[in-house]
Amino acid sequence: MQSFRHELEDLNNPVVEKDIIELERKIRLFREGKIDEEKFRSLRLARGVYGQRQPGVQMIRIKIPYGKLNVAQLRRIADVADEYSNGNLHTTTRQDIQIHYVSLDRTPQLWADLEKDAITLREACGNTVRNITASYLAGIDPNEVFDVSPYAHALFDYFLRHPVGQELGRKFKIAFSSGEKDDAFTFMHDLGFIPKVIIENGEEQRGFKVVLGGGLGAQPVLAKTAFEFLHEDQIIPFTEGVIRVFDRHGERARRHKARIKFLIEEIGLEKFLTLVKEEQKALRVQSFKIDRHKVPVAVLPKNKKAPHVEDLDIDAYDAWLKTNVIEQKQRGYFAVKIRLSTGDFSTTAARQLASLVEDFAGDDIRITINQGLLLKFILPENLPFVFHQLNAIGLAEPGFDSALDITSCPGTDTCNLGITSSYGITRELERVIKSEYPELIYNNDIKIRISGCMNSCGQHTIANIGFHGSTLKSGQLVVPALQVLLGGGPLGNGEGKISDKVIKVPAKRGPAVLRTLLNDYEEYSEEQEYFNAYYERKGEKYFYDLLKPLASTETILPEELIDWGHDETYKQAIGVGECAGVAIDLVATMLFETEEKLLSAKESFEEGRFADSIYFSYSTLVSGAKAWLVNHGIKTNSQHGIIKDFEIHAEDTFFAGQSFSSIAFAIRDREPDQQFAASYLEQALQFFDQLKQLRQPQIAAQLN
């Protein structure tokens, strides 16, 4: 333990040090039964620690802002994966890296090791502002409006550990695209930004089209346009206002209705934007100038000439050049895209890749939203050697972002919510395409996406051809199945189309579904007709009838009762994966959490962070009110609802002559200066002291 604390001091970052020590302390309290399981789950998820399907181990999600890694960070992650996990790295559609099979008790040390190269787990999971994604070609795309990397970085930096984003009703996702092509899929995000340039008073002004309230999952919703143009210095204030409104008014009781898309659907976009405007006075900043140079240009290779490759496989090299290599907007340099099957690569390959980048590419590796990797600033004369080296470690497969490049989540391999195997069917469909439709490595129109359940982690709801895990009944038998979805994808400029649910088939018939669709498209599509245009022309009913013979469960074969990648007969089950906790006093736990918020308010005030102190004081009021209501058997939901219910049932007990809502909602109406922070903190302190005094007789009665 002493060694662990000493290593934290070496980080020379007291904020990070405190965070890691807090995780360690909460794990200990949870093991001792002093923290409720649900509260502990919320805390560890906000620190990137996610329960796996397999009991007793965790998935660790490493937050990689807009997918940007340097060589030192890649090596560090590889070392950590070898030390704490199984030596495999998994890239995600949010440009994160995940490692699996980690002991809960070792997660604080793991986090400390990562932080030695400025890598965080903070807010990688949970009801927080999740990893901010961006176009993987940002900075090198010949067609980009401007490089959005500094803007994505600014939002990441601003909202990391921001009190407004720590305990939302559900997760909050933000994306930046480089242009109207919308290659970061802003249309399916809670908040999306597309760069625009206008001329004002004869000068060029940067800004963004802003879309709001999108999301996938079981009930996908397309984002709505909030602004056609928002000046660059307003994107952070606007984002903070949006999150504050979501935090206060968002659903809390019904998890499946707790995303911001449902709040906007309920009250309307106009009302939502009005609420955001009402938060303006209380924000940390009224304007935030983005440092456009915060993300430096990658360190370029030192004009090192690569060795000549004697035995170059010309055919393989040509296919790789056509599908995985593009010329950058910086003349004379090329970028190399790396396709990763199921988003997986080994730590051995990661280290070899790091050495290759160190010698022959810019020190700026990007994780792509289709679970691949991107290398930058490679000289054309070095491309044969780069291909040769990548090929030697299994990272030169052609067909990046093609029909062969299937996006998939882990499914039942590790996820608690998985219904069927995503990896198994993905590998089989890749095999079918490689062996039977090899020309599809050059097809960038058809995108195949697979999820293990309806939650769309594999983004099946925006696929040209999508599948998600499900089940079918055949008499008394439960058959692993795939829901087939068709016709989705981006339309450009913040607009998109949700895939149609067409039909459900036994999972083992997935390859037959793919063959049927591809053969029909090849035979009946018109010249130069894209797949989605073909689907729209033919219509959903046509494809239902086309695939209906494959959906019949009247003659289920024995092998169809076994899911892909498994040997045993399918049995639907929800994985355990979460540590068990003893039953404890829920209200006591809530008061414990309230006190921690109060301590954070005090600490922030003492450090001169008055806006943060005010928000923590507000959270103290809401959390304490919720504890009182729950203690009196009154159901709670949104923060706004808690404040109103407390005012009805309890305010005379606490605030004679002053309404609880006027106290709580002062956060919205006052500027975050020192004077208000001090008075607001004093009200929170008095409120908590009263709660404790009222609670003492109950505790005494329980002890007797």
Residue 698 belongs to domain with CATH number:
1.20.120.330
Asked if residue 128 belongs to a domain, the reply is no
What per-residue confidence (pLDDT) applies to 582? Answer: 31
The token duo for 686 is 């008095």
Residues 97 and 40 occupy one common structural domain: yes
The domain boundary residue, chosen from 392, 416, 439: 392
pLDDT score at 9? 62
Long-range Cβ contacts of 676-680 (<8 Å, 24+ apart): 676/610, 676/614, 677/605, 677/610, 677/611, 677/613, 677/614, 677/617, 678/605, 680/613, 680/614, 680/617, 680/618
pLDDT confidence of 61, banded at 50, 70, 90? very high
Query: Among residues of the chain, what percentage have pLDDT more than 90?
Result: 74
Domain extent, residue 347, equals 314-392
The reply to whether 492 and 366 lie within a common domain is no
Beta strands in 213-288 (DSSP E): 224-231
For the ranges 29-33, 355-359, 580-584, the lowest mean pLDDT is seen at 580-584
Whether residue 576 has pLDDT greater than 50: no
Same domain, 433 and 516: yes
**Is the domain of 268 the same as that of 155?**
yes
Same domain flag for 75 and 32: yes
Q: In the predicted model, what is the mean pLDDT of residues 87-92?
A: 96
From 230, 264, 282, the end of a domain falls on 282
Mean pLDDT of 214-243: 96
Whether residues 420 and 387 fall in one domain: no
- Number of structural domains in the chain: 5
Q: What pLDDT shows up at residue 289? A: 96
CA–CA distance, 556 with 478 (Å, rounded to integer): 10
Residue 400, domain member (yes or no): no
Q: Are 419 and 499 part of one and the same domain?
A: yes
Alpha-carbon gap, residue 107 to 59, rounded angstroms: 10
Q: Whole-number mean pLDDT of the chain?
A: 91
Instruction: Examine the domain organization and report whether 450 and 509 are in the same domain.
Output: yes
Structure confidence at residue 566 as a pLDDT band (50, 70, 90)? confident
CB 62 within 8 A of CB 91: no
Domain-located, residue 191? yes
> What is the reported pLDDT for 575?
47
Q: Looking at the domain assignment, is residue 307 inside a domain?
A: no
What would the pLDDT profile of 292-302 be if each residue is shown by its tens digit? 999 988 888 77
Is 141:329 a contact under the CB 8 Å cutoff? Answer: yes
CA distances from 631 to 33, 255, 640 (A): 20, 22, 19
Query: Sorting pLDDT into bands at 50, 70 and 90, what band is 218?
Result: confident
Domain assignment of residue 578, yes or no = no
Distance separating alpha carbons of residues 337 and 446, to the nearest angstrom = 18
Indicate the SS3 state at residue 484: strand
Residue 143 burial (C-beta neighbours within 10 Å; 0-12, 13-18, 19+): exposed
My answer on whether 182 and 71 are in the same domain is no
- CA 598 to CA 618: how far, in whole Å? 9
Any domain includes 120: no
Mean pLDDT value of segment 93-109:
95
- The 10s digit of each residue's pLDDT in 313-346 is 999 999 999 999 999 999 999 999 999 999 999 9
Residue 472 backbone dihedrals phi, psi, to 5 degrees: -130, 155
- At 413, the pLDDT band (50, 70, 90 cuts) reads confident
537 and 605 inside one domain: no
**For the whole model, what pTM was predicted?**
0.93
Domain shared by 421 and 343, yes or no: no
- Whole-number Cα distances in Å, 271 to 46, 249, 262, 436: 30, 12, 13, 53
Cα separation, 610 vs 601, in Å, equals 9
Of 340, 361, 392, the residue that ends a domain is 392
The rounded distance, in Å, linking the Cα atoms of 614 and 622 is 12
Q: Is the pLDDT of residue 15 over 70?
A: yes
Q: Does position 622 have pLDDT exceeding 80, yes or no?
A: yes
* Residue 602 domain-assigned (yes or no): yes
Task: Indicate the pLDDT class of residue 578, thresholds 50, 70 and 90.
Answer: very low
Q: What is the CATH number of the domain that holds 255?
A: 3.30.413.10
Residues 590 and 550 reside in one and the same domain: no
pLDDT at residue 10, rounded to an integer: 66
Radius of gyration of the chain (CA): 26
Percent of the chain with pLDDT over 70: 95
Q: In this structure, what CATH number is given to the domain that contains residue 381?
A: 3.90.480.10
In this structure, is residue 358 part of a structural domain?
A: yes
Cβ atoms of residues 264 and 224 within 8 Å: yes
| pLDDT tens by residue, 634-682 | 998 899 999 999 988 886 778 767 889 999 999 998 999 999 999 999 9
**Number of residues that make up the chain:** 704
